[in-house]
Amino acid sequence: MKQGILRVSVTVLILALLMLGHLPSAHAQTAGADLALTKTADRTNVRIGQTITFTITVTNLGPDLATGIYFGDSLPDPLNFVASSCDKGTAFWGLCRVDSLAVGESATITVLTTPITNPARSERKFTNTAYIAESTSFDPNQDNNTASLQFHIIGNTH
């Protein structure tokens, strides 16, 4: 008898908390906005003095609006920053700030770099990774928030 009363009391308490909004419903899920990143470069073998142009694109795969997005590229030591521009936001160095992206919408930052003039042998082959630094929207899939390419500085150095 005491177990029956206890079960009813717990059930009533849980229902009251759900109705007052103090416990999330088991059915209430935050869908969020799955942001996916891609990265391309106009060359992967580069000589001293040549420019590498990176194109980094973030796409909102949905199902919700994405807001407060920062994405871009923190350049590795063998590369010097030259310039950047963002088609739907504000670019600063290798980052782009975008206020919002609707489902299916994309934003792209273009980053221009040059190799350092006298790389050590260990710096001639390197990986460059772009990333989504921040979003104020919940992103349910973090696996597609980075994109990497491998590079090789070739030829004589100065």
Length of the chain (residues): 158
Instruction: Give residue 31's pLDDT.
Output: 81
For the four alpha carbons of 45, 46, 51 and 52, in that order, the dihedral sign comes to positive
- Average pLDDT along the chain, 158 residues, taken 10 residues at a time: 40 40 43 96 96 98 97 95 97 96 98 95 95 97 97 83
- What pTM was computed for the model? 0.79
Instruction: Give residue 92's pLDDT.
Output: 93
Instruction: Give residue 157's pLDDT.
Output: 66
Residue carrying the six token digits 């796409």: 59
